[in-house]
């Protein structure tokens, strides 16, 4: 039976997951692939730690370049993460003519255009299923299943940390700070949680998915990013009463040569499958002109789910090698000559439905003043709800709007804030009415 040698750089969570699956499921992998995947070398700063695997002497090394430069290794899995040494590892592996598999969305969102072009020039694959949505085959589905569809939209819950925090606030009515502490204690959130709760990790993933879906160059810079730290139990409770859950959504839509691409807390109706995704689970809705809406749901992170995704890339490359070929499916879904710069619509120009919460003095005329300003900005109110509950010296006034333009909404909220009627800054949450 043919053997294909694999090297792993970064034997942390995901690197160890790949190695474990290669050992514990060696028999099924070979029975399916018709070849044997062999872990030739693994590199990590710490090679002493028990990883639950019996390594042969010399199989682990502290030198990443002992992996990238090993002439026997055909496929290098870069599992270091970040944009430092990881980039050197990938560059060197590609320079050496090796195929690369990575889970590194941060690096690809920032340097992907150049890295993919370089890999294309060298005729090697730079595969990244593990970088978006853990085990879910989001990239394979866009690149292969939807080859015949014009993809119109992608919407996803792509960060388990945020979804866990929002689920805790929803189910227990605790504050964001309390839910974050809990997530940190459980190991779902980092000590510095900014990358997750600020929406940046989600944006890295959306930049990659959007590129694949529409044949556009990767463009992280123009994605609008808003995190979840402003979400309160009060807003979640009101949303629920109106038939919505609040989720951190990655939204991207293709419309007449322009792309909407944004990350923000979003009110999702119960009828939308994404509203049912709780805890650390992830899900993504892919909308195509042939398939309508299709949803993938699964573990978005973790040793074995992400390891599974990396191994599916490794096996795909192994199959190419066995067939004598190089790149079979273009890395960015489209042939290089067809990849264009497609502009991302500035957030001020989007049109969507909105939820507002004002905290106002409980006196006559306030609603009339607010409604007047909204009307002047062409913002049509769908419903208004006021409760008796006191909040910070005022009472909450909730509103849902019909579709309005973001720039108009900003102007209106600024004018309303300038009135002497509120005790708190207005809260704005966008609503996503489409989708299954």
Site residues, a copy of itself (CB under 8 A): 17, 21-22, 24-25, 28-29, 31-34, 129, 134-137, 140-141, 143-150, 215, 273, 276, 281, 288-299, 304-305, 307-309, 311-312, 315-316, 319-320, 323-325, 328-330, 333-335, 338, 436
Least distance between a copy of itself and beta carbon 129 (Å) = 8
Task: Tally Cβ neighbours within 10 Å of residue 368.
Answer: 9
Helix (H) or strand (E) holding 140: helix 138-140
For the purposes of burial, counting CB atoms within 10 Å of the CB of 277, is it exposed (0-12), middle (13-18) or buried (19 or more)?
buried
Q: What's the chain's length in residues?
A: 436
Beta strands in 131-215 (DSSP E): 151-157
Nearer to a copy of itself, 266 or 312 (CB): 312
Using CA atoms in the order 319, 321, 324, 328, what is the torsion angle rounded to 10 degrees? Answer: 70
Least distance between a copy of itself and beta carbon 227 (Å) = 27
Least distance between a copy of itself and beta carbon 336 (Å) = 9
Least distance between a copy of itself and beta carbon 54 (Å) = 19
Least distance between a copy of itself and beta carbon 169 (Å) = 19
For the purposes of burial, counting CB atoms within 10 Å of the CB of 382, is it exposed (0-12), middle (13-18) or buried (19 or more)?
middle
Catalytic status, residue 122: no
From 41, 98, 105, 205, active-site residue: 205
Beta strands in 70-202 (DSSP E): 75-78, 99-102, 126-127, 151-157
Q: How far apart are CA 249 and CA 251, in angstroms?
A: 6
For residues 37 and 318, is the Cβ–Cβ distance under 8 A? yes
Least distance between a copy of itself and beta carbon 368 (Å) = 41
Beta strands in 151-242 (DSSP E): 151-157, 224-225
Give the residue from 79, 69, 68, 66 showing the smallest Cα distance to 11: 79
* Active-site amino acid positions: 205
């Amino acid at each position: 039976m043919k053997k294909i040698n694999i090297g792993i750089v970064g034997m942390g969570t995901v690197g160890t997951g790949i190695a474990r699956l290669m050992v514990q499921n060696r028999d099924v992998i070979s029975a399916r692939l018709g070849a044997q995947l062999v872990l030739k070398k693994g590199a990590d700063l710490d090679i002493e730690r028990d990883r639950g695997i019996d390594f042969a002497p010399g199989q682990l090394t502290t030198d990443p370049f002992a992996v990238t430069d090993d002439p026997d290794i055909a496929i290098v899995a870069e599992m270091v993460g970040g944009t430092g040494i990881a980039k050197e590892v990938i560059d060197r592996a590609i320079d050496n003519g090796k195929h690369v598999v990575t889970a590194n969305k941060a690096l690809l969102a920032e340097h992907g255009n150049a890295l993919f072009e370089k890999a294309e020039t060298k005729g090697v694959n730079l595969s990244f299923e593990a970088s978006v949505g853990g085990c879910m085959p989001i990239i394979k589905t866009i690149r292969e299943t939807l080859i015949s569809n014009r993809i119109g939209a992608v919407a996803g819950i792509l960060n388990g940390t945020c979804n866990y925090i929002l689920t805790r606030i929803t189910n227990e009515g605790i504050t964001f700070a309390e839910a974050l502490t809990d997530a940190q204690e459980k190991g779902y959130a980092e000590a510095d949680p900014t990358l997750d709760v600020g929406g940046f990790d989600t944006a890295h993933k959306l930049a990659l998915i959007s590129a694949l879906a529409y044949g556009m160059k990767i463009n992280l810079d123009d994605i609008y990013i808003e995190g979840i730290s402003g979400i309160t139990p009060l807003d979640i409770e009101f949303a629920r009463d109106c038939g919505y859950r609040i989720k951190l959504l990655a939204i991207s839509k293709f419309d007449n040569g322009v792309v909407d691409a944004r990350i923000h807390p979003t009110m999702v109706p119960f009828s939308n499958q994404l509203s049912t995704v709780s805890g650390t689970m992830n899900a993504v809705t892919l909308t195509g002109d042939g398939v309508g809406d299709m949803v993938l749901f699964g573990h978005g992170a973790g040793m074995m789910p992400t390891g599974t995704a990396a191994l599916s890339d490794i096996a795909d490359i192994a199959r190419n090698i066995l067939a004598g070929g190089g790149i079979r499916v273009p890395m960015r879904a489209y042939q290089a000559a067809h990849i264009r710069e497609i502009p991302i619509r500035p957030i001020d120009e989007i049109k969507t439905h909105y939820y507002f919460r004002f905290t106002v003095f409980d006196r006559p005329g306030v609603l009339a003043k607010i409604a007047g300003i909204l009307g002047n900005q062409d913002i049509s109110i769908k419903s208004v709800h006021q409760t008796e509950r006191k909040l910070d010296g005022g009472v909450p006034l909730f509103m849902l709007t019909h579709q309005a333009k973001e720039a108009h909404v900003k102007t209106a909220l600024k004018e309303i804030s300038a009135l002497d009627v509120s005790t708190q800054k207005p809260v704005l949450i966008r609503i996503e009415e489409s989708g299954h």
